[in-house]
Amino acid sequence: MSTLNGGADHVLGTTHKKEESPTFPYIQETARKNPFNVPESYVRTEEQMEKHLYTPHLSSHLPIIDFGLLSNGNKEELLKLDFACKEWGYFQIVNHGMQIDLMQRVKDAVAEFSELSIKEKIKYAMPPDDMQGYGHTSVDWSDYLVLLVYPTRFRKPQFWPKELKDTIDAYSNEIKRIGEEVINSLSLLLGLEEHGLLDLHREVHQGFRVNYYPPCNTPEKVLGVSPHSDPRTIAIVMQDDDVSGTEIRYKRNWVPITPIPGALVVNVGDVIEILSNGKYKSVEHRAITNKNKKRTTFISYLFPQGDAEIGALDHMIDDQNPKMYKDTTYGEYLRHVLNTKLEGKPHINATKINEWIGE
Ligand SMILES: O=C(O)CCC(=O)C(=O)O
Ligand SMILES: [Fe+2]
């Protein structure tokens, strides 16, 4: 049974693999002082940016789910969730019960951390052999801070800036409540007992990732995060109220997610796509950059224990819906993802039967 680094230390966040950069972390520091100095390595061709697919008008169609109704088992809200996961793989949740004040405290604490000198921040730098800590992506225009929050026994305190500890703790506790409730609703929609999906996780793991995007003078050529799908169960994202940047692949378009103040953005990850035998979509998404405004996103990922088995649920398979994915363990799947390129979502395609022969 394959678990990565004992089952809990595996990568959090996107499928970014940490690559060594001789200039880390000074490129980003230079960029903040002088956003007109974009290094060549960040520049993408027009084709890579797929600018012609950009259709901002579609953004208002993203479903909005009332969490209060959903957790009371409201049928209409459940059907909305079903539609959102089938059609978009994305939705926003309102009425989630988290205090706006707490959300603001997380934003303020992270902003304070961002303002620290590089000398202070690199105390938390992600070592080359680790997947937690502070760093910056080697091909995209962003800094990140990545932490494993739950189970608490796997935390690595050396990567937790002291300014952030209490707020991340309180925030993550709320996200756990909201996230597990969303997973319970998905469980019902997938024909399981309410706790069926959580049980399949064995022990739910939760990571916290901050992405910080400095202003960029050539946003049409530089991405904040390259297209990918999340190799997780779900991701829950808090974003800035006044600047958008996340875009999702919808049919042949890149659709921006317009922030709704106080709402949380949720997306279906690969684990749900696999368990649902493709009924629910782990949609490709990316982050674009902004010429004038910096942007920060706060992403919480929920995912299974490394030895949890993931494969299409038996009752999701029939003559019309043949089995699409190979049975595996979460740890094995993640290892496969980490060995695969970030661009697009080849890792989930590779789990399709006949395409992934295993390792
Ligand atoms: O920050 C964003 O807009 C999206 C980032 C993302 O998708 C991720 O880090 O997994
Ligand atoms: Fe993502």
Of the bound ligands, which one is closest to the alpha carbon of residue 213? Answer: 1
355 within a domain of the structure (yes/no): no
- Of the pLDDT bands very low, low, confident and very high (cuts 50, 70, 90), residue 336 is confident
CA of 101 to the centre of ligand 2 (A): 25
Whether the bond into 231 is cis, omega within 30 of 0: no
215 within a domain of the structure (yes/no): yes
Residues 6+ apart with CB under 8 A from 16: 137, 140, 144, 342
pLDDT score of 316 more than 50? yes
169 within a domain of the structure (yes/no): yes
288 within a domain of the structure (yes/no): yes
- Average pLDDT estimate for 45-49: 82
Q: Where are the alpha helices (DSSP H) in 190-300?
A: 196-201, 270-275
Ligand 1 near 299 CB (within 6 A): yes
pLDDT score of 255 more than 60? yes
298 within a domain of the structure (yes/no): yes
Distance, CA of 289 to CA of 278 (rounded, Å)? 31
- Of the pLDDT bands very low, low, confident and very high (cuts 50, 70, 90), residue 347 is low
200 within a domain of the structure (yes/no): yes
Distance, CA of 291 to CA of 13 (rounded, Å)? 25
Q: What's the first-to-final CA gap in the chain, in angstroms?
A: 13
Segments forming the whole domain that contains residue 82: 3-349
Ligand 1 near 328 CB (within 6 A): no
Residues with CB under 5 A from ligand 2 (ion): 14, 230
Index of the ligand 1 atom closest to the CA of residue 257: 3
Ligand 1 near 267 CB (within 6 A): no
Domain count, the chain: 1
Which of 45-49, 79-83, 234-238, 346-350 is least confident? Answer: 346-350
Q: Please choose from 267, 297, 345 the residue to mutate so as to test ligand 1's pocket, defined by most ligand atoms within 8 A of CB.
A: 297
- Of the pLDDT bands very low, low, confident and very high (cuts 50, 70, 90), residue 63 is very high
CATH number of the domain residue 176 falls in = 2.60.120.330
Ligand 1 near 287 CB (within 6 A): yes
Cβ atoms of 88 and 250 within 8 Å: the answer is: yes
β-sheet bridge partners, residue 90:
267
Amino acid 4: pLDDT:
30
Tens-place pLDDT, residues 108-166? 999 999 888 888 988 999 998 888 999 888 788 888 999 999 999 999 999 999 989 99
Q: What is the pTM of this model?
A: 0.90
Ligand 1 near 230 CB (within 6 A): yes
Nearest Cα residue to atom 8 of ligand 1: 14
pLDDT score of 2 more than 60? no
Cβ atoms of 53 and 254 within 8 Å: the answer is: yes
pLDDT score of 318 more than 60? yes
79 within a domain of the structure (yes/no): yes
- Of the pLDDT bands very low, low, confident and very high (cuts 50, 70, 90), residue 31 is low
- Of the pLDDT bands very low, low, confident and very high (cuts 50, 70, 90), residue 16 is very low
354 within a domain of the structure (yes/no): no
CA of 217 to the centre of ligand 1 (A): 20
CA of 235 to the centre of ligand 1 (A): 9
Residues 6+ apart with CB under 8 A from 66: 74, 77, 93, 94, 95
CA of 319 to the centre of ligand 2 (A): 32
